[in-house]
C-alpha cells in the first residue's frame, strides 16, 4: 500500500509541476510585448531515488525554481552602449534644433541681410539724395541688425531650453534611483526562501538601469543580498542597497545662472557638484551643447555684429547727410551698447537715423547732396578682410555656419553608428531573453500532454488502490 501512495504522490507532484509550466508559459505569452521582459522557464529536477529491495526506484520530479533567461554580460554591454548612444542622440537633437537658425532656406538670414545691406548701399551711392532709396537703405540696415538679434535670441532660447531639459532629466534620474532602492528591498524580501527568484522585479530593475544608463554614466554591481549598488560620475554612490541619495540642480552664478548637477551628501555629508564629472549619456551631451557649442556660436555672432557695426560706423562718422545734417559729421549708423558679449543683441539703428533718413551720411564734404565718396568707402567694406585679417563678413559667416554644419553631420554619423551597436545588442538580448510565441505554444501543448499523462497515472493508481482494498474485503 505504501508503495502505491508514493506513486500517487509522484503523480500529484507531476500535476503541480505541469500546472506551473502552464502558468509560466501563459505568463510569457501575456508579457511577450512588454519592454525588457525576460522569458521564464520552470527548472524541473528529479528527486533522489529510494532504495527498495536493492533496487533504486525513481521518486518523481519537482519544480526547483522558475528562472528567467538572462545574459548578465550582454546586459552590461547594452547599458554601456546606451550611455554613448544617449549622448550622441541628445547631441544630435540639440544641434538639429539649433540648425534651423542658420537654414539656407531662411529668407531673413544674416548672410541674406548682409548682401541686401550692401546692395542698398550701392543703390544709395548711385542716388545719394533720393528719399525713397534712403528709406530702403535704412530698412536694410534695420533688417541687418534684427537678423543678428534673431540669431542671438534664438541661441539663447535654445540654451535655456537645454537648461530646462537638464533639470527635467535630473528629476527623472532621481526618481529612477529611488525606484531601484525600492526594487532592491522588494527583491530581497521575495528571495528569502531558497529557489525563490523575483524575476519580474529583476526585469523591472534592469529596465530602470537601462533608462539611467541612457541619461548619465553609471556602473553597478550586485551584492551578496541580490541588491544592486549604483555608482555615478566621479565614482559617486547613487544607490547602495535599499538607500538612494538625491540628485538635484542648482543655478551657477558663475555660469549665467545655468544649472549645475548636484548630489546630496556625497562627501562628508556635504553636497557635491557633479557637473564637471559627468562624462557620458544624454545629460553630458546637453551640458556640452549648452556650455560650449552655443556660447561658441554666440561669440562668433557677436564678433561679426561688432565688427560690422564698428567698421561701418567708422566710415559713416566721416560723412555728411542732407538738410539739417549736411554740415555736421560724426554720426554712427548702428549702436551696439559697447559690450562685445552683447553686441548682436544690442545692435540697432542710431536714434538720429531712426528719426530721419537725412542723417544717413554718404557725402565726404558738407553741403554736397550728390557726393557719394563715403558711400563708396562703405561699399568697399564688403570685400575687406576685417575679421581676424583673413575673412570678409560673408566669408566669416559662411565659415561659422559651415563649421557648425560639419558638427551636425558628424553628430549624425556618430549617432547612426552608436544606434546600430545598441540595436545589435538588443537583438542579442532578444535572442536570449525574448519570448517566441511559437515556442510558447509548443510548450503549452507539451505541458498539456504531460498533464494528461499525469492524470492518467493518478487514475491508474486509484484503480490499483481500489483493487487492493477489494482484496481485503
Check residue 271 and give its pLDDT: 86
pLDDT digits (tens, 9 = 90+) for 424-464: 999 999 999 999 999 999 999 999 999 898 888 888 877 78
Mean pLDDT of 51-72: 85
pLDDT tier, 1 (very low <50, low <70, confident <90, very high otherwise): low
CB 363 within 8 A of CB 319: yes
Contacts 24+ apart (CB under 8 A), 150-157: 150/101, 150/108, 151/101, 151/102, 151/110, 151/297, 151/301, 151/344, 152/298, 152/301, 152/302, 152/344, 152/345, 153/345, 154/98, 154/100, 154/101, 155/98, 155/101, 155/294, 155/297, 155/298, 155/301, 156/298
For the chain, the average pLDDT equals 91
pTM exceeds 0.95: no
* % of residues, the chain, pLDDT over 90: 73
Residue 79's nearest CA partner among 256, 249, 198, 221 is 221
Amino acid at each position: 500500500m505504501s508503495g502505491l501512495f508514493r506513486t500517487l504522490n509522484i503523480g500529484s507532484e507531476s500535476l503541480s509541476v505541469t500546472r506551473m509550466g502552464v502558468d509560466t508559459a501563459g505568463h510569457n505569452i501575456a508579457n511577450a510585448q512588454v519592454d525588457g521582459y525576460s522569458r521564464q522557464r520552470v527548472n524541473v529536477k528529479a528527486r533522489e531515488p529510494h532504495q527498495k529491495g536493492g533496487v533504486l526506484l525513481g521518486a518523481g520530479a519537482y519544480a526547483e525554481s522558475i528562472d528567467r533567461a538572462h545574459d548578465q554580460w550582454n546586459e552590461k554591454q547594452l547599458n554601456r552602449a546606451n550611455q554613448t548612444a544617449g549622448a550622441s542622440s541628445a547631441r544630435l537633437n540639440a544641434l538639429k534644433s539649433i540648425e534651423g537658425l542658420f537654414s539656407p532656406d531662411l529668407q531673413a538670414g544674416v548672410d541674406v541681410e548682409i548682401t541686401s545691406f550692401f546692395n542698398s548701399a550701392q543703390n544709395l551711392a548711385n542716388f545719394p539724395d533720393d528719399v525713397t532709396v534712403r528709406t530702403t537703405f535704412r530698412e536694410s540696415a534695420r533688417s541687418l541688425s534684427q537678423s543678428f538679434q534673431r540669431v542671438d535670441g534664438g541661441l539663447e532660447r535654445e540654451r535655456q531650453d537645454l537648461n530646462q531639459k537638464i533639470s527635467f532629466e535630473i528629476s527623472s534620474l532621481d526618481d529612477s534611483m529611488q525606484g531601484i532602492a525600492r526594487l532592491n528591498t522588494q527583491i530581497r524580501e521575495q528571495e528569502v526562501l531558497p529557489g525563490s527568484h523575483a524575476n519580474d522585479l529583476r526585469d523591472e530593475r534592469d529596465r530602470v538601469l537601462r533608462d539611467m544608463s541612457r541619461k548619465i554614466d553609471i556602473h553597478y554591481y550586485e551584492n551578496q543580498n541580490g541588491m544592486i549598488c549604483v555608482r555615478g560620475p566621479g565614482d559617486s554612490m547613487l544607490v547602495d542597497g535599499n538607500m538612494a541619495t538625491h540628485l538635484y540642480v542648482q543655478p551657477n552664478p558663475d555660469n549665467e545662472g545655468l544649472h549645475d548637477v548636484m548630489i546630496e551628501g556625497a562627501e562628508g555629508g556635504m553636497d557635491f557638484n557633479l557637473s564637471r564629472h559627468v562624462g557620458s549619456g544624454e545629460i553630458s551631451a546637453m551640458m556640452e551643447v549648452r556650455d560650449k557649442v552655443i556660447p561658441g556660436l554666440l561669440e562668433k555672432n557677436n564678433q561679426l555684429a561688432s565688427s560690422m557695426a564698428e567698421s561701418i560706423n567708422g566710415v559713416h562718422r566721416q560723412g555728411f547727410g542732407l538738410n539739417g545734417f549736411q554740415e555736421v559729421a560724426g554720426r554712427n549708423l548702428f549702436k551696439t551698447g559697447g559690450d562685445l558679449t552683447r553686441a548682436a543683441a544690442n545692435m540697432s539703428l542710431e536714434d538720429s537715423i531712426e528719426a530721419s533718413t537725412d542723417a544717413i551720411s554718404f557725402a565726404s564734404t558738407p553741403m554736397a547732396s550728390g557726393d557719394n565718396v563715403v558711400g563708396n568707402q562703405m561699399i568697399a567694406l564688403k570685400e575687406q578682410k576685417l575679421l581676424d585679417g583673413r575673412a570678409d563678413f560673408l566669408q566669416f559667416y559662411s565659415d561659422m555656419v559651415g563649421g557648425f554644419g560639419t558638427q551636425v553631420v558628424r553628430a549624425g554619423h556618430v549617432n547612426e553608428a552608436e544606434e546600430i551597436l545598441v540595436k545589435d545588442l538588443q537583438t542579442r538580448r532578444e535572442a536570449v531573453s525574448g519570448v517566441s510565441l511559437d515556442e510558447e505554444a509548443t510548450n503549452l501543448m507539451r505541458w498539456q500532454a504531460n498533464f494528461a499523462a499525469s492524470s492518467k497515472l493518478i487514475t491508474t493508481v486509484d484503480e490499483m488502490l481500489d483493487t487492493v482494498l477489494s482484496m481485503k474485503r
